[in-house]
Amino acid sequence: MDHGHKTRLKDTIAIVTPFKEQSNTIKRELQKEGLKDEELTCGTIHALQGAERKVIIFSPVYDSDKTEFFFDRNTNMLNVAVSRAKDSFLYFGNVDILPVKESLPSGQLARKLFAHKSNQIVGVSSFQPDEIIANLTGAKAHDDWLIRQLSRAQERVDISAPYISNLVLQDQAKPVLVAMESCINRGVSVVVHPSAEMNTEKK
Mean pLDDT (the chain, rounded): 78
- Residue 138, helix vs strand vs coil: coil
The pLDDT value given to residue 114: 84
Q: How many Å apart are CA 149 and CA 38, to the nearest integer?
A: 36
Q: How many Å apart are CA 54 and CA 52, to the nearest integer?
A: 7
pLDDT in tens, 101-141: 778 888 888 888 888 878 877 666 555 656 555 566 777 77
Q: How confident is the model at residue 69 (pLDDT cuts 50, 70, 90)?
A: confident
User: What is the maximum alpha-carbon separation in the chain?
Assistant: 71
The pLDDT value given to residue 55: 92
pLDDT in tens, 108-117: 888 888 888 7
Cα dihedral sign, 175-181-184-189: positive
Max avg pLDDT among 33-42, 79-88, 158-167, 189-198:
79-88
CA–CA distances in Å: residue 172 to residues 54, 76, 177: 51, 50, 10
Query: Would you say residue 29 has pLDDT above 70?
Result: yes
Q: Nearest Cα to 112, choosing from 81, 89, 85, 80? A: 89
Q: How confident is the model at residue 7 (pLDDT cuts 50, 70, 90)?
A: confident
Mean pLDDT of 43-51: 81
Q: Domain residue spans in the chain?
A: 9-119, 129-193
CB 43 within 8 A of CB 95: no
CB atoms within 10 A of CB 69: 19
Q: Give the architecture-level CATH label for domain 9-119.
A: 3-Layer(aba) Sandwich (3.40)
The pLDDT value given to residue 72: 83
